[in-house]
Structure 1
Amino acid sequence: MQPNQYSHRKVTIIGTGLVGMSYAYAMTIKGLVREIGLINRTAARAEGEAMDLSHGLPFVKPMDIQAGGYELCRDAQIVVIAAGANQKEGETRLDLAKRNVKIVEDIVPKILEHNSNPILLIVSNPVDILTHVALKVSGLPSQRVISSGTVLDTMRFRHLLSEFYDVDPRNVHGYVIGEHGDSEVPVWSRVNIAGIPLDDYCESCGKSIEARKIAIENDVRTAAYDVIEKKQATYYAIGLAMIRITEAVLMNQHSVLTVGTLMQGEYGLKDVCLSLPSIVGAQGVDRVLANPLADSELHALRESARILREGLDSIGY
């Protein structure tokens, strides 16, 4: 694929908590960008993080890491919103909505004062609700307001399947769609291993997945709760998910990723942001792929959209 038109790649991160900085740290190791901007409500925190990352620059590719105000959004191809209250133990992502909507409503206009056409990558939870809010507040084309969606859930799904079959997770292909949350939908009907449909793979290796499906679904769905219970927050895996999305955008890779974006009639869904496999490139989401689903999966996806729509209604969107 042709690389992005920008030779000077820049990403600005708003929110220098554990998620934002896991992403920034991974970005320095990968050497994806020439410039990183760090913005935080507490300026000293962003300054300290910029200093800490900068001290490692002799061992990575050249880049400029700065902390400051919203002027750092200028010329950034991607502006990441990772600011907001953290999910508490026992709290659902939708419970976070009212606390974090006001933060997004405040942040987005400040970004646009300095950058009229960025790609907004939303990571703060509840990510589907906040993506919808950011889209409405910004007025940007829907393809340019995306979220990390179910990229992380899909990673977890593939990891668990790879453990069950003892095969490299990079050769396990499958998706989780819908809400990044409790109503998410693992698409079993489309899972394949090295191009072999799951049922055929089970038959060839003599290892049936049927007895494990519900447990795997539950493990994917509750993974965040389990991690939060043990270490108070999740951040490494989502940081890597964000890296993958960033790479697809900056390198114009046209990669298929389950980012969140506005539905515009796919499966009959409209006026709600959720995740489906989407082709991601330099302009954000080039195209959403609405492939045939099993009837049960389609029903579950529509139910997921209904739950999200109710959440949006409850906050006036």
Structure 2
Amino acid sequence: MHVAIIGGASTIGSTVAYTLASADPTFEITLVDKAEEPAWAHAVDVTHSVFHTVDAPVDGETAGSLGTVRAVGADEIGDLDPQPDLAVFTAAAPRPDDATDTDAREAELEANRGIVDDVAEQLRSIDPIPILVMTNPIDRITYRLWRRLEWPRGHFLGYSLSETARTAHRIGELRDVDPETVYCPVMGEHGNGIVPIFSKLRIDGEPATLSADERADVREYVREIPFEIAKRRGAAETSRWVTSAGTSRLIRTIADGGSGDTGTPVCLSTPVDGEYGLSEGCLSVPVTLSADGADEILEWDLADDERERLAAAHERIRSDLQL
């Protein structure tokens, strides 16, 4: 599989490249960035890391199956041969040092609209492919990119799996269980309007419930922890480790043909067209994946308050759409 990371010289882009190459060194990875020198440096460094990933030295047959990591300029994506099978959109304007609270989302939207339009112009020269959007604010950027390209909506996937990991972590703390035993999907907005679906909560495979206070605690934790990380580590760093791990997991699922055969959905931001009574805009909804992106949006039977929160998140997102 050939993955193009648009904004590959960025903190997130380069970390995704490293994580993906470490998880599966057979991937072809191209870092696409106007900052060609840093992109080249990341590509070479990740290439060297594969030596240890595969426990080199290996035999010639194994070596022949490994992919490559390279870098190209921002205007060269249409000339890539072969064409990418999937693109990761991480291109973004530099974050100011004080972008460490929820107010940063509005500034990010204003700064990144033009970048979306420039990248869309470059992507028009290739055939439609799945695009995993990681540029904030993710729901708004995903929608704008879809409207600019007018490719099938299932190709557009806004990344939101970090919320799922954070939700599981906090529930694990509250219930004194391993977070890896917790299943609680998260719908809604990537930001203040997260909607953990507590009605589907499972701990070690068994249905579980949380009190109203516990549910409020989880929502607050998931909303605030990325900004707390940014305050302590610096806005430019962001939550790159959980983000790159989740992204790598999604890409490998798509590369394997998707999740449709297993029926296991993931919640990702994709354009809605009547699902849950919502139209226009993008927000995280449960989807099954295929090699082409979102194969199907599943309409779960939600609790009343979950449906109300989802509608409120949708309205927040729609209010910011300027096309």
Q: When the two structures are superposed, what TM-score results if normalisation uses the length of structure 2? A: 0.87
CA contact (8 A) 1:10 1:33 kept: no
Structure 1 residue 34: deviation in Å?
A: 2.8
Report what 1:95 is aligned to: 107
**Structure 1 residue identity aligned to 2:89:** I
Q: How does 1:56-71 map to 2 (within 5 A)?
A: 56-61=49-54, 62-69=66-73, 70=77, 71=79
Structure 1 residue 167: deviation in Å?
A: 2.7
Structure 1 residue 221: deviation in Å?
A: 1.0
Structure 1 residue 32: deviation in Å?
A: 5.6
Q: Does 1:288 align with 2:297?
A: yes
For this pair of structures, how many residues does the alignment match? 296
Report what 2:272 is aligned to: 263
Q: When the two structures are superposed, what TM-score results if normalisation uses the length of structure 1? A: 0.89
Report what 1:4 is aligned to: none
Structure 1 residue 210: deviation in Å?
A: 4.6
CA contact (8 A) 1:37 1:73 kept: no
Report what 1:223 is aligned to: 225
Q: Deviations over 1:273-310 (max 9, x none)?
A: 01011111211101111111111111111010001000
Q: CA RMSD in A?
A: 1.7
**Structure 2 residue identity aligned to 1:117:** P
Query: After TM superposition, which residue ranges in structure 1, 4 or more long, deviate above 4 angstroms?
Result: none
User: What CA distance in whole angstroms lies between the structure 1 residues aligned with 2:81 and 2:184?
Assistant: 35
Q: Does 1:157 align with 2:150?
A: no
CA contact (8 A) 2:21 2:27 kept: no
Report what 2:156 is aligned to: 145
Structure 1 residue 11: deviation in Å?
A: 0.4
Question: Residue 277 of structure 1 aligns to a residue in which SS?
Answer: strand
User: What CA distance in whole angstroms lies between the structure 2 residues aligned with 1:188 and 1:94?
Assistant: 28
Q: How does 1:95-174 map to 2 (within 5 A)?
A: 95-113=107-125, 115-148=126-159, 150-174=160-184
CA contact (8 A) 2:129 2:292 kept: no
User: Alignment identity in percent?
Assistant: 25
Report what 1:23 is aligned to: 16
User: What CA distance in whole angstroms lies between the structure 2 residues aligned with 1:290 and 1:263?
Assistant: 11
5+ residue gaps, structure 2, are 55-65
Q: How does 1:24-63 map to 2 (within 5 A)?
A: 24-31=17-24, 33-61=26-54, 62-63=66-67
Mean Cα displacement is larger for which, 254-263 or 99-108?
Answer: 254-263
CA contact (8 A) 1:135 1:145 kept: yes
User: What CA distance in whole angstroms lies between the structure 2 residues aligned with 1:165 and 1:275?
Assistant: 26
Mean Cα displacement is larger for which, 26-35 or 126-135?
Answer: 26-35
CA contact (8 A) 1:178 1:304 kept: yes
Mean Cα displacement is larger for which, 302-311 or 93-102?
Answer: 93-102
Report what 1:5 is aligned to: none
Residue among 211, 214, 217 paired with 1:212: 214
Mean Cα displacement is larger for which, 71-80 or 247-256?
Answer: 71-80
User: What CA distance in whole angstroms lies between the structure 2 residues aligned with 1:285 and 1:24?
Assistant: 22
CA contact (8 A) 1:11 1:33 kept: no
User: What CA distance in whole angstroms lies between the structure 1 residues aligned with 2:94 and 2:208?
Assistant: 37
Q: Does 1:85 align with 2:93?
A: yes
**Structure 2 residue identity aligned to 1:64:** T
5+ residue gaps, structure 1, are 1-8, 200-207
CA contact (8 A) 1:38 1:72 kept: no
Structure 1 residue 80: deviation in Å?
A: 0.8
